[in-house]
Chains A and B, each alone.
Chain A
Amino acid sequence: MENRPHTVAFDKEKCVGCVDCTKACPTRAIRVKDGVADAIWELCIDCGECVRVCRYDAAISLTSSPTELEKFKYKIAMPSPVLYGQFGRHVHPDKVLQALKRIGFDDVYEETWMCEMVSAAIDTYLTECKGPWPRISTSCPAVMRLIAIRYPDLVEHLIPILAPRELAARDLKRKKAAELDIPEEDIGIFHITPCSAKAEAINDPLEVTYSHLNGAISIREIFGPISKALKGIDKVDITYSYSPIGMSWAMAGGEITGMRNQNVLAVHGAPQTLEVLDRIDSRQFRNVDFLEIMLCPDGCISGPLTVAGRYEAQHTMTLHIQNVASQSRVKEEKVRNLFQEHYFAFEREIKTRPVQPLAPTLKEGAAKAKEKLAILERLPKKDCAACGAPDCKTFADDVVRGHAQISECVFVKIEELKKEKKTPKPRATQAKSSAKAEKN
Chain B
Amino acid sequence: MPETELLRRTFKVTGSDFDRAGEVSTEVKSLLIEIGVDSTSARRVARASFEAEMNQVMYADKGTVELIVTDSEVQMTFQDEGQGIEDIELAMQPGYSTSTDWMRAMGFGLGMGLPNIKEISDEFHIESTPGEGTLLKFTVKMDSA
Contact = CB atoms under 8 A, between A and B. Distances in A.
Given A284-B22, A363-B71, A358 B39 contact: no
23 contacts: A153-B39, A153-B43, A281-B26, A281-B46, A283-B22, A284-B54, A285-B107, A287-B107, A355-B33, A358-B35, A359-B36, A362-B35, A362-B37, A362-B71, A362-B142, A362-B144, A363-B4, A363-B6, A363-B71, A365-B35, A365-B36, A369-B31, A370-B7
A283 B6 CA distance: 27
A278 B39 CA distance: 16
Interface string A360-372: 1111111111100
Given A278-B26, A365-B34, A284 B21 contact: yes
B22 A357 contact: no
Interface in A353-405: 354-355, 357-370
B33 A354 contact: yes
A286 interface: yes
B59 interface: no
B47 A366 contact: no
Contacts of A281: 26, 29, 46
Nearest to B46: A282
Contacts of B31: 369
Interface string B7-31: 1000000000000011001100101
B50 A369 contact: no
B39 A284 contact: no
B50 A358 contact: no
Contacts of A354: 33, 39
A278 B19 CA distance: 12
Interface of A: 152-153, 278-279, 281-287, 354-355, 357-370
Nearest to A400: B34
Contacts of B6: 362-363, 366-367
A360 B36 contact: yes
B50 A283 contact: yes
A317 to B, nearest CB: 33
Contacts of A358: 34-36
A366 B35 contact: yes
A149 to B, nearest CB: 12
Interface string B65-103: 000010100000000000000000000000000000000
Contact of B50 (A153, A284, A357, A361): A284
A367 B69 CA distance: 11
A362 B22 contact: no
B34 to A, nearest CB: 6
A198 B6 CA distance: 43
Contacts of B36: 357-362, 364-365
Closest 9 CB pairs of A and B: A365-B35, A366-B6, A357-B36, A365-B36, A366-B7, A282-B22, A284-B22, A287-B107, A282-B26
A325 B33 CA distance: 50
Given A282-B25, A284-B21, A286-B107, A369 B46 contact: no
A357 B47 contact: no
Nearest to B145: A362
B49 to A, nearest CB: 9
